[in-house]
A and B are shown apart, each in its own frame.
Chain A
């Protein structure tokens, strides 16, 4: 138990001292997680809406696909992305392998199914009378969609929270396509993995605590936002 207490003490000391390296890793982690969350939710939530809004041929298959994609291991995504971004891959020309952009793309691919599947479930959970009422009052497709989204706002906020939580804690893909390069692609999760493998459990715990604090701050911010205005 000593190393736990030691880890927490060192985490507090790291944050208090404003260690430049830790600050850099935390900021990079935050940047990648925010970019991936915004892109994945920006694409995935409208897609989830479209899947849930009305029946069409193949909808069940599309929903099943999104739900299945939730279970894709991040290392598999990392491997496929590595193949695509490597010099001889179809996206090799971008030169993004071992960059933060590669990690962000991997995170987007992992968070996208979360955004699609959970937002579809959120919209399906809205009372069908809301949609009907908007339509009978003359709302077009966009206004009806917006009205439904407003009713599902808590569930949609949970989608964003889940997507952020997933990408901020992601390691498998980040390790493969990011390479854990110090000062360039080292994120909090890859740093934790490295320090733990080097036997420095105290530092690993300290970095883990920073990661948790980061997730906590973002979640609290989201809760404050969604708590504004009720009824």
Chain B
């Protein structure tokens, strides 16, 4: 298990990350989402032991991560693939074998593992190419294969499919699944795309301004709340949202996707917020769950079971009604 405890990290005096606790369990699968500049890459570099937090500590298996001479050994358990990975001078084959040679492995064993990894990530045809002869997506795949080749306990991936096309992304995710099925590999993936995050993990943690956000980042709206207590109505995009809060002034509204009810026509219910619109996108979030995006005057995302989606015959372009209670809207 790898963990950050009471960590703050500064660059030039500016706090870029402040986390009380961030835990990645053994064999776990975590996705970190957040906009660019939210601290995702910094978090991954701290977890990879490539930077030392300004305050607090990284813990591995219940003990503070070692420093000095023993740091390199600890680093070998955690491998990071950066957002825009670099390949070293040389061929793809040499790159895939880099970490293995660093571990003193003999040439025959290195070649065996390199061939396996290349096959798993559809890189066999590229083995003798040099970095200048690869596309960005291929570079990303080589970097992931190079990281998997050293069989780390923890793999950290920073936007691993940002340059990949759909087929390449599918290959990459398949390879990661195969690796996880084979052994207890923990994976922590950072992405600014929710779809990526949901595709990879049910354990999604949202990062905003270097801090963990209390909710996932769908359906977040910046609003100006009127003064007064109790139920208020605020305009969000093209709709009026009823919200129950005592707060006033600038605030963020969050509507959890799992708290939204879907129907084909408006139903008599206690929900104060009922919006009719059209489905714009359907995506499988995890097995058994479907993420429904609809334009109801503003873009809202709901999560329903696959059975519910089937029974409602939801399809892109089809009519849908989104409903949620005023008390379901979180304000922070």
Residues of A within 8 A of B (CB): 127, 129-130, 132-141, 143, 147, 150-151, 153, 229-231
- How many residues on chain B are close to A (CB under 8 Å)? 28
A137 and B86 form a contact (CB under 8 A): no
Interface status of B103 (Cβ within 8 A of chain A): yes
Interface status of B150 (Cβ within 8 A of chain A): yes
Q: Shortest beta-carbon distance, B169 to chain A, in Å?
A: 22
Q: How far is the CA of A141 from the CA of B82 in the complex (A)?
A: 20
The residue in chain A whose Cβ has the minimal distance to the Cβ of B99 is A137
The one of A133, A140, A143, A230 that contacts B86, using a Cβ cutoff of 8 Å: A133
Q: Shortest beta-carbon distance, A109 to chain B, in Å?
A: 33
Interface core residue of A136, A140, A141, A153 (most chain B CB under 10 Å): A136
Question: Given known contacts A135-B50, A137-B79, A150-B89, what 13 new A-B pairs fall within 8 Å (CB)?
Answer: A132-B50, A133-B85, A134-B88, A134-B102, A136-B147, A138-B76, A138-B150, A141-B72, A147-B88, A147-B98, A151-B88, A229-B89, A230-B130
Q: List the 9 shortest-distance A-B pairs measured between CB atoms, nearest first.
A: A231-B130, A137-B99, A138-B76, A139-B102, A138-B102, A136-B80, A231-B132, A129-B86, A138-B99
- Find chain A residues with CB under 8 A from B50 CB: 132, 135-136
Interface status of B120 (Cβ within 8 A of chain A): no
B131 and A231 form a contact (CB under 8 A): yes
Q: Shortest beta-carbon distance, B3 to chain A, in Å?
A: 18
Which of chain B's residues 66-97 have a Cβ closer than 8 Å to chain A? Answer: 72, 75-76, 78-80, 82, 84-86, 88-90
22 contacts between A and B (CB under 8 A): A127-B86, A129-B82, A132-B80, A133-B88, A133-B143, A134-B102, A135-B50, A135-B75, A136-B75, A137-B79, A137-B146, A137-B150, A138-B103, A139-B102, A141-B72, A147-B98, A150-B88, A150-B89, A151-B88, A151-B89, A230-B132, A231-B131
Q: How far is the CA of A150 from the CA of B89 in the complex (A)?
A: 7
The residue in chain B whose Cβ has the minimal distance to the Cβ of A140 is B72
A143 and B88 form a contact (CB under 8 A): no
Q: How far is the CA of A132 from the CA of B86 in the complex (A)?
A: 10
Q: Kindly supply a per-residue 1/0 record for chain B positions 238-267, scoring 1 wherever the CB is within 8 Å of any chain A CB and 0 otherwise.
A: 000000000000000000000000000000
Q: How far is the CA of A135 from the CA of B146 in the complex (A)?
A: 13
Q: Shortest beta-carbon distance, A137 to chain B, in Å?
A: 4
Q: Shortest beta-carbon distance, B83 to chain A, in Å?
A: 9
B102 and A140 form a contact (CB under 8 A): yes
Q: Shortest beta-carbon distance, B70 to chain A, in Å?
A: 11
B75 and A130 form a contact (CB under 8 A): no
